[in-house]
Structure 1
Amino acid sequence: MDRLEESNKLNNYGFAAGRGLINVVFSWSLKDVLNAKLYENQVTKIPETFSTTMSYMKAFIPSLVEETHADLLSSMTNLSKAPTCELLTVTASENHGPRKDLFYDVTCVGTYVPQVGDLIALTDTKPKCVDHLNRSRNSYLIAYVHQIRVNNLSILLSKHIDSRGYTHTVGKRETMFAVYLMNMTTNIRVWKALNSDDANTNLIKTLLQVQPSSSQGGSSCTICFSKEKCFDSLSTKWPEMWCDLNESQKAAVLNSISLSKCKHQNSINLIWGPPGTGKTKTVSISLFALYKFKCRTLTCAPTNIAVLEVTDRLVRLVNQSLEYDKYGLGDIILFGNGERMKIRSYNDLFEVFLDRRISILTKCFSPLSGWNHWLELMISLLENPEGQYSLYIKEKQKHDKQRKESRNSNSSSDDENNFLTLEKSVKEIHIKDDMHDEESENSSSTSDDDNDFLTFEEFVKNRLGFIGEHLKVCMVNLYTHLPTSCISLEVVKDMIRVAGLLKSIKSIFSWAGVTNEQLKLLQEDCTRTLKSLRAFAVPSSNDAQTIRNLCLAKACLIFCTASSSARLHTDGMVPLELLVIDEAAQLKECESTIPLQLPGLRHAILIGDERQLPAVVKSQISEKAELGRSLFERLVLLGHEKHLLNVQYRMHPSISLFPKMEFYDNQILDGPNVSEVSYNKCFLDGKMYGSYSFINIANGKEEFDRGRSLKNVAEVAVVYEIVSSLYKEFTRTKKKVSVGVISPYAAQVNAIQERVKEYSEVSAGSDFSVSVRSVDGFQGGEEDLIIISTVRCNGKGSVGFLSNRQRANVVLTRARHCLWILGNESTLINSNSIWKKLILDAKKRECFFNADEDEKLAQAIAAAQSSCDEDDPIELLARPLASLRLTDRTAETSTPTYRNNFRRGGRSSRVIRW
């Protein structure tokens, strides 16, 4: 029986999530982990069509295990950089039991704080390489972080800790460390989705019905939906929003709404959004319409950044449409890891973030300090202000008498303690009815003046302000954060009206000549409205989990990553109706099975572009098996109809010309905005720096850095010279410009970042900005001016993954006004790749230039090459023998270092089972 068959048998054992995958990882020896071909003969290509739901689910499991293995192998080769913490105690937990339930409670200290899903190595040394794990005096252990508690962690260990235990006692045991290896959360969630027995498989069955050359599910349901009626509704209620869409965008919005209305079938729609075609706008307006139609919709994306972008667009649209302050935001929920999302930097999104919402509503529902408490206090004050004032006088007198007696008594420690106890008791009485806090905040009297009583008018005015402020905060928080199904518009109107009446009543005490009759009428009106609000009952429990369930059950739109949607697979979850996956072409199909199986889902809308970057896959074995292929791409391969957004609004026509022809068969039109004369911007003088150009760097040189990634110092120098010129021009003209530099190689990105650092730092907060990123880092991004550094320069025409059409599509479609491409003509022409086509096209359009035609660029290249030659050990060896030193350090530490590291990393002197 092979490992993958064994993993399926282990899947249902124990109660830790995804236990089957954890057991597979625990079964690997160190030799297994370091064997990059461990699963080479067990991973087969994922088919394009499937006969059954079972065969569909099981097809992804081998590749998922291999990808997990590759991720761990990558971590093992970078142990020196792994986060580490010291373990203080490791003790068997209450759940510790049979051989496969080895749960331990752990306390730790250090900068690294383990998170749920982390895979960690427990060892008595801080390893700098894989060999150090073998040198550990006690066999190291692998553990999975199962749960985070207030004071400790719950971990699942691969094997028993020895009988001595590891409870920390100074001087009695050696130090023990936890070393971070990887986080398994997403892989475990995928594993659970692929091995689920009781999930909703309606949509899975629908996508299995799609066969080659079919166009199933791509159009509106005419039985359940009238486009004309919906068109009139949208164009009448939100004319500006609707008129801002082109015809292809309007059709996409209407198709989305049609799915929400369809009750009798399941379907999957594809929206194809090439670069700059307003994909995010179309998605956000579609979601806005679904929000207005009260369709319970889950919106997912592969990454936090993508989720935040689409949520931000939607919240802005909703905020513009709100009629009663923030009433309606409660129907929108964003959830996930707040720290990773950096949610506090998004003011609007912070209002719909679930964790913050729970914190706010917990206070509002509190019986002693929440809505009901402040409501009753205000009613009591308005109904009987004289009685409240009388109570205040009595409490004040009692308090002053106790203080006076204390001053006259002997200052013994017992007397002091008695006084402190008495004063605390009195203070508690005041806090109970909120008079003491209100008086201390609003009264100008000093604590030493025992006879300084507030007048009746002062008391009522301060009391109104104090209680009213708390009441207002509660009201605003309730109608902002509760779903509209939990708080009616009539209640919200009454709350807003009460706030206005209380403001008027408080103001009256400062006005001269106001009759008691006027005040009485306002008090009666306000009291009557407040009493009517008693009918609005908040939940009796302010338990966080209860509030979480309430918000998720009643919300209209929910946003999270596809992986995080696993948290919605809970008992009693109110069914959702529609699933929207943004950036769907970047999501592994196996990961999309997590949200696709949520209870109640009838339809799914996938938005993306399979001709841009796919999902990232670490394992070459998994990549060959098509693990990185998305559901979007597979359905397109089968001929599933997709709705094209066919107008691009980003790129100057001279920039869009080649991508439209090469990647989209000229199906894309240029928007009217990019065709205007004003869109043609010049940032530097000279034909070389027009809207579109290829700049040939004939004498460059590609070379490996220490991390085995390529760089080209000549292109680094040219980038620096161009950015420097752009900044000088900016300081002269003050013309705003954002510059993006893209390179497919990490070493080149790092080299350019370091070289232009001075301009990146200067640009912070100004109208001049420089951003240097990889191709993956620029997916979905755009800048005014883009500089591409292709790096490759060799006699063979070898360009590696630079020839990938999807990567080329991304880099060539990020610029708004100018796109300047740096590369070696000879290498790219000889590659017979898309770059050959690009160069030939540039020459045909007279957009091809040689860098040495520009004096500054020529000097920069020469200086870079000269500097490189001085440091290059190969160049040193080429010089006359007499000029060499036999103990040349540079020559000693080039490739031998890599070879020695490789030999050490691949050696395993003994096999340890985890």
Structure 2
Amino acid sequence: MMKMATTKKKKEGSKGHQGLVDFVFSWSISDVMNEKLYTDKVKQIPETFLSTTHYMQSFIYPLIEETHADLLSNMKTLSGARVCEVFDVKISKDYKPPKELYYEISLKQMGENEKREGSYEPQFGDLIALTDVRPKCIFDLNRPKRPYLLALIQGMKDEGSFGLPILSSKAIEFEKQDNEKGKKGDKLFAVYLTNLTTNIGIWKALNPDPEASNMKIIRSVLQVDPSVGGNCTLCSNEKTTGASELYSSAAIRNFGLNKSQETAVLNCIATKDCHHQNMVKLIWGPPGTGKTKTVASLLFALLQMKCRTLTCAPTNVAVLGVTNRLMTLVRPTSECDTYGLGDIVLYGNGERMKIDDYEDLFDVFLDYRISVLSYCLAPLSGWKGSTKSMIQLLEDPKNQYQLYLNKEKEKGENDDDDDEHDSDEEGERKEGLFISMNASGSQAKVHKIENQGLKNSKQKFLKKVIDQTVKENKKKKPKDKAASQKFKHHKEEDNAACSKKNKMEKGNRVETCLTFDEFFLKELNSIGKRLIFCITSLYTHMPTSFIQKEVAKDMIRVCNMLQALGTLVRNVAATNDGLRDVLFGTQTAERRIRHFNELRVTRMECLVKLQHLQERIFLPNLTENYEIRSFCLKSACLIFCTVSSSSKLHTEGMEPLELLVIDEAAQLRECESTIPLQLPGLRHAILVGDEKQLPAMVQSKICEKAGFGRSLFERLLMFGHPKHLLNVQYRMHPSISLFPNTVFYGKKIMDGPNVKSVTYNKRFLEGSMFGSYSFIDINNGNEQIDNRCSTKNLLEVYVIAEIVSNLHKQSLVSKQKVRVGCISPYKAQVFAIQEKLGNTYSTDRDSDFSVNVRSVDGFQGGEEDVIIISTVRCNGNGSIGFLSNHQRTNVVLTRARHCLWILGNSATLVNSGSVWKKLVLDAKSRGCFYNAKDDKNLVQAISSALIELGQSDNLLNTDSVLFKTARGKVCLSDEFSKSYARIDPTGDDLVSKLAAINLKDEPSTSTRNYGN
């Protein structure tokens, strides 16, 4: 499969127009470092467009400049770039100079120390620099011996191939080390620069094949007409509600949607049947309004209606979130176990998705499905072979046993030297399955199941197969003397049936064949487990168009029968009551064997049902993984993937999709939306998002100014495009939601009944300062710039550490589960908080006390019980940089459920004249403004922090937190301070002593003067 994908990727640069990779390869180091390289090329992106060509071309140079800016940014931090050493370079069979310089590189195996330090494993789409030194700066890439050389990773290592396929910007000169000839060889390193996968996907979408591309929806949004987003008048006139729509309406009403959510879902469902125009619907979901729940309910309805729908999102996290929510709706409503999940496909890279953390999604994850179906569709070990073997065993066990004896005899005669293969392995070879494990049991290989990029999940699957096919029940020993005699009698009969009392000499070892009972039990167990695995896998992973519901019900019944039959057979065999007599139909058996009728009936019913299923189940003849992949995608009703991954769905023969749903659409650059919008057959799109939260990230200042970060969602709203507002929020305590609702949403959002409940008002710390909402003023701080030009405020770091520590102590006392989130807009502050907290607290959200520290971008879509915000900025001129951004402010203020505590320098924020000024004044007017000096624990934390940070001179001022909070006060004259400074230059020793005096809970309020 990967080999095919690689071939397609290699054609990227061979189109008539210049490809994005060609631009990148053409840049010299001076070009990369030139921040103004495309200043005159990047134009302001229009709000309306004259044609589809005008639309696409408007994004071309902004995309090139954004790629250039991203590369420049990574070049500036080259000393910290990930590096791996190249062991060998060989010319690929596709090598066609001067443009198509394809090679295969193999990487040097790393030692344990290198692995521990963190190694670089190149991924598909990575742009790398090839150099003969480990670069410390950008100019190391342009050494005279090896000039500036770039390469693009074209795919992952194929089975049986030499190494990683790459496309190089220039011819590579490399001489491999040869110890025999005494050649030292060349040194070559691959240095990670950036990943171009997404941008190449956008480039292809902006340069479509005019004959193959679907421009219907894109044409509808060139000139924005508000009426296009409304309901179709022609459909309204001829509308008759169908049975499927009525069923879907009834189904979603069971999900507890509020009026605004239900209206949005039903309106979007009605859109699917419109063939008069191509519409784009907008669902506006402010924080906490149940946006994901609404989308999942919509998708559930579309699944019931068998409407082929693609659901995309900008990130893997968002895709997993909406898929997981849909599954919580689908599983409880399923009448037949996991039947129907074959209509749902989650598509993407398992490692990047971290799919192992989402075990509930394995049944819809495409790579896992391919592995399972490749096993089930195998002619011998899969459904067909296992069904045939079980029917033969149940229909004529005597004949099957005789075949076994003949095989053992033949093996004894012709294979005397082979004493390593026991009967289990021989039986499995007969069924076409061989599983081998290493000594530790940590690796497993199954015939025709290739590595799909899964790690733990793949191992779990293989373990499941092993458990289903190999594990053998322990043999039951006779319990009493009579049973022992009966057992001995049957064994003597079987031994007689096998030549020379069933004993075959193998060297110095004597091996005895299985008795009939042993053989039947083993075969029933082995084949039964394989068959049950295949049955459950097929009704789970095959689309409902191939397996009808009634057939699935019969499949479940057969599984139950096989399990019941196994239990009955084991019970009869364990008591040695004559299993042979039951299966061979001896007339006297009925009178003397318990469970005779039950076993006979179960066996016959199972046999009939299996034969019936054999006639009713028609599986596709697929042997290769890429064929199964295509089959799954073509047959699915709902497909989930990232927007960039949707480019891989533009394949020949792909069944048309009807609807596109883009979640978090406001975080998506408009040009990126063009990837899924052009999918074959697509008629309508539903965009879900909130333009008042974080937009897409744009690296280039030139592109940002040109409007490159604007989403299609935002542009449509600019022209009054209709939207369905979700107007009830269920996350924030009303005191938390009040400010963002007023400032950002014009008081259009209502608080849900759950957040208005008295029980929602939770207290995690004592004191009014730590109520549901508060601004805590910290005016002693000092903002600093780190080596990456990011800002931090270490005093706020210490205060956060103190608050978190107190929360943890209180949580242990109260045994109350608490989830804490610490947010800052600045990466330097995030790192500083993480470093201060260390590994003291769990980050696992399921633990009794968890703390997660992230940037604003990292918390988009997230929520916690308690949120602590560090605003960082502390200066005299009110400069707060991008902190003033309304969208970032909105996100940071809407993550908390029960408590939101904002730390900052009020003077700086008020002087900024930004939205933060409004917030500080609002907190004061509501009585939610507090000074850190009002809390004794925070005073101690601040004092300790100033001493540790070498800022103890701030504590010697009479207006410092140390003096303002003292009960009895010590004042120092200027002369005394100067004199003591000669003894204690840092002043730390004196401050520590004064702090000890001032922080004592003394009744005295007098002032002590020293040095006058």
Query: Is the TM-score greater than 0.5?
Result: yes
Q: Which amino acid aligns with 2:285?
A: G
Q: Counterparts of 1:732-811 in structure 2 under 5 Å?
A: 732-761=813-842, 766-811=847-892
Please state if 1:420 is matched with 2:417: yes
Q: Kindly indicate whether the alpha-carbon contact (under 8 Å) linking 1:121 and 1:141 is maintained by their aligned counterparts in 2.
A: yes
Q: Counterparts of 1:827-906 in structure 2 under 5 Å?
A: 827-869=908-950
Match of 1:369 among 381, 384, 388: 381
Q: Choose 72-81 or 11-20, whichever is displaced more.
A: 11-20
Q: Which amino acid aligns with 1:192?
A: K
SS at match of 1:860: helix
Q: Kindly indicate whether the alpha-carbon contact (under 8 Å) linking 2:52 and 2:218 is maintained by their aligned counterparts in 1.
A: yes
Q: Kindly indicate whether the alpha-carbon contact (under 8 Å) linking 2:824 and 2:869 is maintained by their aligned counterparts in 1.
A: yes
Q: Kindly indicate whether the alpha-carbon contact (under 8 Å) linking 2:245 and 2:305 is maintained by their aligned counterparts in 1.
A: no
SS at match of 2:753: coil
Q: Could you tell me which residue of structure 2 aligns to residue 625 of structure 1? A: 706
Q: Could you tell me which residue of structure 1 aligns to residue 197 of structure 2? A: 185
CA distance in 2, matches of 1:439, 1:188: 46
> Shift of the alpha carbon at 1:824?
1.2
Per-residue Cα deviation, 1:511-545 (whole angstroms, up to 9, x for no partner):
56347665544433322222222232222222101
- CA pair 87-758 structure 1, distance change in 2 beyond 3 A: closer
> Shift of the alpha carbon at 1:841?
1.1
Match of 1:114 among 117, 122, 136: 122
CA distance in 2, matches of 1:782, 1:424: 57
Q: Counterparts of 1:31-46 in structure 2 under 5 Å?
A: 31-46=30-45
SS at match of 1:419: coil
> Shift of the alpha carbon at 1:421?
5.1
Q: Kindly indicate whether the alpha-carbon contact (under 8 Å) linking 2:736 and 2:772 is maintained by their aligned counterparts in 1.
A: yes
> Shift of the alpha carbon at 1:14?
4.4
Q: Could you tell me which residue of structure 2 aligns to residue 202 of structure 1? A: 216
For structure 1, the 5+ residue unaligned runs are 1-10, 403-417, 889-914
Q: Kindly indicate whether the alpha-carbon contact (under 8 Å) linking 2:381 and 2:433 is maintained by their aligned counterparts in 1.
A: no
> Shift of the alpha carbon at 1:863?
2.7
> Shift of the alpha carbon at 1:19?
6.1
SS at match of 1:23: helix
> Shift of the alpha carbon at 1:567?
0.6
Match of 1:607 among 688, 698, 701: 688
SS at match of 2:417: helix
Match of 2:188 among 171, 176, 188: 176
Q: Which amino acid aligns with 2:27?
A: W
Match of 1:456 among 510, 516, 520: 516
Q: Counterparts of 1:92-131 in structure 2 under 5 Å?
A: 92-109=91-108, 110=110, 111-131=119-139
Please state if 1:139 is matched with 2:147: yes
CA distance in 1, matches of 2:246, 2:95: 64
Q: Which amino acid aligns with 1:709?
A: S
Q: Choose 724-733 or 298-307, whichever is displaced more.
A: 724-733
Q: Percent identity?
A: 54
Q: Which amino acid aligns with 2:545?
A: S
Q: Kindly indicate whether the alpha-carbon contact (under 8 Å) linking 2:343 and 2:544 is maintained by their aligned counterparts in 1.
A: yes
Q: Which amino acid aligns with 1:364?
A: C
Q: Kindly indicate whether the alpha-carbon contact (under 8 Å) linking 1:361 and 1:542 is maintained by their aligned counterparts in 2.
A: no
Q: Kindly indicate whether the alpha-carbon contact (under 8 Å) linking 2:248 and 2:305 is maintained by their aligned counterparts in 1.
A: no
Q: Counterparts of 1:720-739 in structure 2 under 5 Å?
A: 720-739=801-820
Q: Counterparts of 1:478-497 in structure 2 under 5 Å?
A: 478-497=538-557
Q: CA RMSD in A?
A: 3.0
> Shift of the alpha carbon at 1:112?
2.0
Q: Which amino acid aligns with 1:32?
A: D
> Shift of the alpha carbon at 1:136?
5.2
Q: Which amino acid aligns with 1:78?
A: T
Q: Could you tell me which residue of structure 2 aligns to residue 50 of structure 1? A: 49
Per-residue Cα deviation, 1:445-468 (whole angstroms, up to 9, x for no partner):
999985745443443233222211
Q: Which amino acid aligns with 1:137?
A: K
Per-residue Cα deviation, 1:547-606 (whole angstroms, up to 9, x for no partner):
011100000100000000001011111000000000000011111100000000000000
Q: Counterparts of 1:151-550 in structure 2 under 5 Å?
A: 151-162=162-173, 165-170=174-179, 171-197=183-209, 198-211=212-225, 214-219=226-231, 221-223=235-237, 233-234=247-248, 236-237=250-251, 240-241=254-255, 244-399=256-411, 419-420=416-417, 430-433=427-430, 441-442=472-473, 444=475, 450=510, 452-509=512-569, 510-511=571-572, 513-514=593-594, 519-535=599-615, 536-550=617-631
Please state if 1:586 is matched with 2:600: no
Q: Could you tell me which residue of structure 1 aligns to residue 78 of structure 2? A: 79
- CA pair 479-246 structure 1, distance change in 2 beyond 3 A: same
Q: Which amino acid aligns with 1:63?
A: P
> Shift of the alpha carbon at 1:261?
2.3
- CA pair 690-476 structure 1, distance change in 2 beyond 3 A: same
> Shift of the alpha carbon at 1:12?
9.2
Per-residue Cα deviation, 1:803-827 (whole angstroms, up to 9, x for no partner):
1100110111111111111111111
Q: Kindly indicate whether the alpha-carbon contact (under 8 Å) linking 1:739 and 1:771 is maintained by their aligned counterparts in 2.
A: yes
Q: Kindly indicate whether the alpha-carbon contact (under 8 Å) linking 1:427 and 1:436 is maintained by their aligned counterparts in 2.
A: no
Q: Could you tell me which residue of structure 2 aligns to residue 891 of structure 1? A: none
SS at match of 1:420: coil
CA distance in 2, matches of 1:396, 1:147: 48
SS at match of 1:216: helix
- CA pair 425-644 structure 1, distance change in 2 beyond 3 A: closer
Q: Kindly indicate whether the alpha-carbon contact (under 8 Å) linking 1:72 and 1:182 is maintained by their aligned counterparts in 2.
A: yes
Q: Choose 528-537 or 72-81, whichever is displaced more.
A: 528-537
The alignment's TM-score, normalised by the length of structure 1, stands at 0.88
Q: Choose 13-22 or 274-283, whichever is displaced more.
A: 13-22
CA distance in 1, matches of 2:333, 2:752: 27
CA distance in 1, matches of 2:631, 2:247: 31
Higher normalized contact order (CA 8 Å, seq sep 6+, divided by chain length): 1
CA distance in 1, matches of 2:137, 2:548: 62
- CA pair 664-807 structure 1, distance change in 2 beyond 3 A: same
> Shift of the alpha carbon at 1:128?
1.1
CA distance in 1, matches of 2:720, 2:359: 42
Per-residue Cα deviation, 1:665-696 (whole angstroms, up to 9, x for no partner):
01000000000111111111111111111111
Q: Choose 433-442 or 378-387, whichever is displaced more.
A: 433-442
For structure 2, the 5+ residue unaligned runs are 1-9, 111-118, 435-468, 478-502, 578-592, 957-976, 987-1012
Q: Could you tell me which residue of structure 2 aligns to residue 713 of structure 1? A: 794
CA distance in 2, matches of 1:436, 1:779: 47
Q: Which amino acid aligns with 2:607?
A: T
Per-residue Cα deviation, 1:215-257 (whole angstroms, up to 9, x for no partner):
422347535755797775346446531xx11000000110121
- CA pair 477-172 structure 1, distance change in 2 beyond 3 A: same
SS at match of 1:340: helix
> Shift of the alpha carbon at 1:362?
0.5
SS at match of 1:147: coil
CA distance in 2, matches of 1:321, 1:159: 58
Q: Kindly indicate whether the alpha-carbon contact (under 8 Å) linking 2:280 and 2:684 is maintained by their aligned counterparts in 1.
A: yes
Q: Which amino acid aligns with 1:49?
A: T
> Shift of the alpha carbon at 1:144?
1.3
> Shift of the alpha carbon at 1:486?
1.6
> Shift of the alpha carbon at 1:178?
1.1
Q: Choose 115-124 or 449-458, whichever is displaced more.
A: 449-458
> Shift of the alpha carbon at 1:369?
1.2
Q: Which amino acid aligns with 2:157?
A: R
Q: Could you tell me which residue of structure 2 aligns to residue 659 of structure 1? A: 740
CA distance in 1, matches of 2:857, 2:979: 45
Q: Kindly indicate whether the alpha-carbon contact (under 8 Å) linking 1:125 and 1:136 is maintained by their aligned counterparts in 2.
A: no
Q: Which amino acid aligns with 1:461?
A: L
Q: Choose 255-264 or 518-527, whichever is displaced more.
A: 518-527
